Chains A and B, each alone.
Chain A
Amino acid sequence: MKWIHRCLIPAACSLLLSGCWSQKELNDLAIISAMGIDLKEGGGYTATLQIINPANVAGGLQGGGAGTNAPPVSIYTAEGDNIVATNRQATQKLPRIRYYAHTNLLVVSEELARKEGIELILDAIERDAEFRMTSVLVIAQGTTAGELVKVLTPVDKIPANKVIKNLRFAEQQRGEHVTMNVQDIIKDLTAEGKEPVIAGFIIEGDPKEGVALENTHQTEPPARIGLGSLGLFREGKLVDWAEGSAARGTVWILDKLKGTNISIDWEDKQDAVVYEVIRQNTKVTAKLKQGKPAINIQVQAEGNIGETRVQLQLDDPKVLLKLEKAFEKEIEAELITAVEQAQKAKSDVFGFGESIHRSYPEEWKKLKAEWHDAQFPELKVDVTVEAFIRRTGLRNNPHKRN
């Protein structure tokens, strides 16, 4: 027993010899909240790193924290031939260790997404141990990623948080966008017969004013980040933007709609009744009709009457049934618009190919080669919608206007 003890003590001591392995003090970290990637002129990339100045975010008494006198984030840009080189190059200016574990937002410029595609970038992101696969990826629509990352935002002090929350809550309430993180996108990119949709963000106003702290000191900031359209992809490249009802139709077919508002015309009055969708269920099934693939979309929607602008007998079930029919028609139209746009762009963002692959694996082998160019644009899509009015809000009939 004695010799075991004699051996164990040096062994235990040697544990300490490794020192503080991979120890990083918090004040040595540059916490990167967002990374914007642009194409550099003449090849290579420009990366824009949005780094959090913690003392300026947290506010309060702490650390000389004149929370409002200095910007909550600082921007560092770097250039390089590839993603890793670009990011390493940033250390030339950064006084701290780059820390990507809290990089929740990745911004890719429209130019890069259209010309080169996003697949190459994602490889570096996925390979890196610090980067999260749950980082949200968005496209800088009509601007560069650098510009978008630089804009300071009010309310949510960290612009990256603003973008993510903006996207998430808009997705919940309006249903024209989908929050896609790196993992989702890689899944869609690698799946057969499925393409990703990625939300676009735009800058309203003058981007140059967005970099100054004054931007957040005004009730109406001169430069604002807002949601744009929904980007449709083909083979990793951005091909088209879906807007309005086409965007919502796309989200609907993807079965990711969580809530939205549908308005219909009633008795010659435009947008007279508003239907608030509270839950829905969409099923996409593939069928073969005379050897040709066809897609059947079944939508079940449930919602409330949110607003009436005409006189309606809402306590009459017959009226409600009529309304339901009208809503169904409206929803069906949106879905068809979405399908038509995607077919025009030859981008199977709905994963119709995937559902055919699942149901008819043998046929899919034949269809696969010319799916995007010939099969998908010609695909026959049937839409059936079932809408149900659960409640009419806190009132039955609208109050009488004389």
Chain B
Amino acid sequence: MPSFFKSKKRKARKRNNQHSQPPEFCQVIHPSLADQLDYIRNKTGSSTDIVIRKASFDEKLGIRTAIVYVEGISDKKTINDFLIESIIKNRELHEKHPKRDPFDILLDEVVALGDVAVHHQWDSIFQSLMAGDTVILIDGFSKALSASTRGGEQRSIEEPGSQVTVRGPRDGFTESIGTNIALIRRRIQNPDLWNEMMKIGTVTKTDVAIVYIKGIAKDEIVDEIRSRLKRIEIDSILESGYIEQLTEEHVLTTFPTYYHTERPDMVAGNLLEGRVAIIVNGTPFVLIAPALFIQFFQSVEDYYGRADIATALRFLRILIFFISIIAPASYIAGTTFHQEMIPTRLLIAIAAQRETVPFPAFVEALIMEVAFEILREAGVRMPRAVGSAISIVGALVIGQAAVQAGIVSPAMVIVVAITAIANFATPSFTVAISARLIRFAFMLAAATFGFYGIILGLVMLTVHLTSLRSFGVPYLAPIAPVIPSNIGDTLVRMPMWAQKKRPKLVASDRNETRVGDNQKPKPDESRGMKRTSEKNGGQT
């Protein structure tokens, strides 16, 4: 055993050494344009989407320039209108300013675009080129100019598919990080909304942005997130899930310590609670941290609708969570250990159904649960065209045939169906998935110890949840530890005017208050007027 570990470590060290070697393209730029273009062609393997357009700038001096961009990820119209056209048309500029450097003239007078940068090294040139910028190379200069022309085909802003609401905004994040930040900025029009961009992934160079509201977010949490992101050393970030897995605090848990959403309004709401968003280019799923357990039972609609109804729904969701965890386990425990707890008539009804079932209750439940999981997985992965076949086969096989064949009891089908619906109704998909997994552990516990096992499991689950932290914030806060000022947004959702403070452990201590005093709506003053006039009348 020990030797095995050692060899692994050695290997890891070797790999690190390979990494730390300086990449090839850190080289200084050669002043000759032909050499520069050769280098680009070499580096990109003459890929067909790299477009190189040569143009002469100032005929007399014969300064030759080249415009390089990547087709598809850059905005062709911008390149044509503001770069190529202005370079070709402004040929006499050098005559007007004979003393000036042609490079500066190009920078100051010709390029009619906002975001322009000067590069001295190849790696930064390639970075901006691959991001969709246009690079302008000038013969005789060992530096290059880049202009932001990012664009190309993108998915438009659509209604998010994963967190649908009846009431609330209909826009959802897209795969473009710029659009996503803009969607948040539109909601929080405040200079304190800060974002920090960094590139992660040695190969993919994915843009990752940390977004937070300065003054509301806790500085320690922002620093912690920043340092954890900086720590990441990986070839690619293809989805925000990569970041989640590389930076979460607890690996041995099924519960998520990041919240992810497709909804800009939800991100805005969380930023205002002092949380930090991590946006990854190429995915509409934005991470929110720190994420607390109770958050996964909240929906944006809770805040848009009435408080009493939202409270009722919160209770329902907690119930749903418990049903999806322990419903099959309770069935097993009830029918194999604690028959005395089932009312006589119900027991007889279940016993009658189980009379022909050849399996013990645990095996029966396991078969049905696994069959259902297969069905659900098939439903998710199947091409849409054959999707309807699943429901037919599923309904027939599980619902009818299995019962008629006497392999499972109808009561079990009901239990599985309720569990499945409860699982679908869980507002957060990640918690729903972990409930799916935990359910099997609970079934095993129930098959071994009955209700005693279920209670044992629930105790262990509580202990586990209490031990979790999300960026230092206890996972069960504000319930454990109890934070009285934040309890109004947990099992109950107090009205807006009663929730005065931001989450204590999450948001900065300096800016806690959300709602002003006396915000509780009151009846119109005019109704009180009669009484005051009566009073006055009595006095006079």
Contact = CB atoms under 8 A, between A and B. Distances in A.
Given A15-B448, A101-B340, A27 B357 contact: yes
B337 A102 contact: no
B352 interface: yes
A295 B339 CA distance: 47
A16 B4 CA distance: 31
Given A20-B448, A63-B406, A58 B352 contact: yes
A24 interface: yes
A92 interface: no
Interface in B398-416: 404, 406, 409-410
Interface string A9-30: 0000001101111111111010
A145 to B, nearest CB: 20
Contact of B336 (A24, A104, A132): A24
Contacts of A55: 352, 355-356
A130 interface: yes
Centre residue among A33, A56, A58, A158 by max chain B CB count within 10 A:
A58
Contact of A57 (B339, B348, B447, B448): B348
A28 to B, nearest CB: 9
Given A26-B361, A104-B344, A16 B448 contact: yes
B356 A25 contact: no
B194 interface: no
Given A18-B448, A23-B337, A102-B340, A29 B351 contact: yes
B349 interface: yes
A12 to B, nearest CB: 10
B352 A63 contact: yes
B251 to A, nearest CB: 14
A15 B452 CA distance: 12
Centre residue among B347, B355, B409 by max chain A CB count within 10 A:
B355
Contacts of B348: 31, 52, 54, 57-58, 158
Contact of B350 (A21, A23, A24, A26): A26
A60 B352 CA distance: 10
Given A54-B348, A63-B352, A63-B355, A29 B448 contact: no
Nearest to B360: A25
Given A15-B448, A22-B337, A64-B356, A54 B410 contact: no
A185 to B, nearest CB: 21
A99 B336 CA distance: 12
A25 B352 contact: no
B181 to A, nearest CB: 42
Contact of A31 (B347, B353, B404): B347
B240 interface: no
B317 interface: no
A62 interface: yes
B410 A62 contact: yes
B148 interface: no
A63 B336 contact: no
A93 B286 CA distance: 68
Contact of B339 (A24, A65, A158): A24
Contacts of A161: 344
Interface in A124-146: 130, 132
A62 B411 CA distance: 11
Interface string A238-275: 00000000000000000000000000000000000000
A54 B352 contact: yes
Nearest to A131: B340
B339 A101 contact: yes
B304 interface: no
B362 to A, nearest CB: 8
A26 B335 contact: yes
B242 interface: no
A132 B341 CA distance: 11
Interface string A192-211: 00000000000000000000
Interface in A56-105: 56-58, 60-65, 99, 101-102, 104
B449 A102 contact: no
Given A58-B348, A62-B410, A130-B340, A27 B355 contact: yes
B347 to A, nearest CB: 6
B354 interface: yes
A26 B354 contact: yes
Given A24-B337, A24-B339, A58 B447 contact: no
B447 A54 contact: no
Given A15-B448, A26-B339, A26-B361, A58 B344 contact: no
A27 B354 contact: yes
A62 B352 CA distance: 7
A25 B355 contact: no
A355 B360 CA distance: 55
Contacts of B340: 101-102, 130, 132
Contacts of A132: 340
Interface in B412-455: 447-450
Contacts of A63: 352-353, 355-356, 406
Nearest to B449: A21
A25 B361 contact: yes
A105 to B, nearest CB: 11
Contact of A62 (B344, B353, B360): B353
B125 to A, nearest CB: 50
Centre residue among A22, A62, A101, A130 by max chain B CB count within 10 A:
A62
Contacts of A65: 352
Centre residue among B354, B409, B410, B450 by max chain A CB count within 10 A:
B354
Contacts of A23: 336-337, 447, 450
Centre residue among A56, A60, A63 by max chain B CB count within 10 A:
A63
A317 B361 CA distance: 67
A236 B355 CA distance: 42
Contacts of B360: 25
Interface string B466-506: 00000000000000000000000000000000000000000
Centre residue among B335, B344, B348 by max chain A CB count within 10 A:
B348
B347 A102 contact: yes
Interface string B361-379: 1000000000000000000
Interface string B72-91: 00000000000000000000
Interface string A310-323: 00000000000000
Contacts of A64: 356
Contacts of B355: 27, 54-55, 62-63
A54 B351 contact: yes
A143 B78 CA distance: 105
A29 B410 CA distance: 19
A60 B357 CA distance: 16
Contacts of A104: 344
Identify the 4 closest CB pairs spanning chains A and B, nearest first: A101-B340, A58-B352, A54-B351, A54-B352
11 contacts: A18-B449, A20-B448, A21-B449, A52-B351, A57-B348, A58-B353, A62-B409, A63-B352, A99-B339, A101-B340, A130-B340
Interface of B: 335-337, 339-340, 344, 347-357, 360-361, 404, 406, 409-410, 447-450
Given A22-B450, A57-B348, 16 more contacts: A16-B448, A18-B448, A20-B448, A24-B337, A24-B339, A25-B360, A27-B354, A27-B357, A31-B339, A54-B351, A58-B353, A60-B352, A63-B353, A63-B356, A102-B347, A130-B340
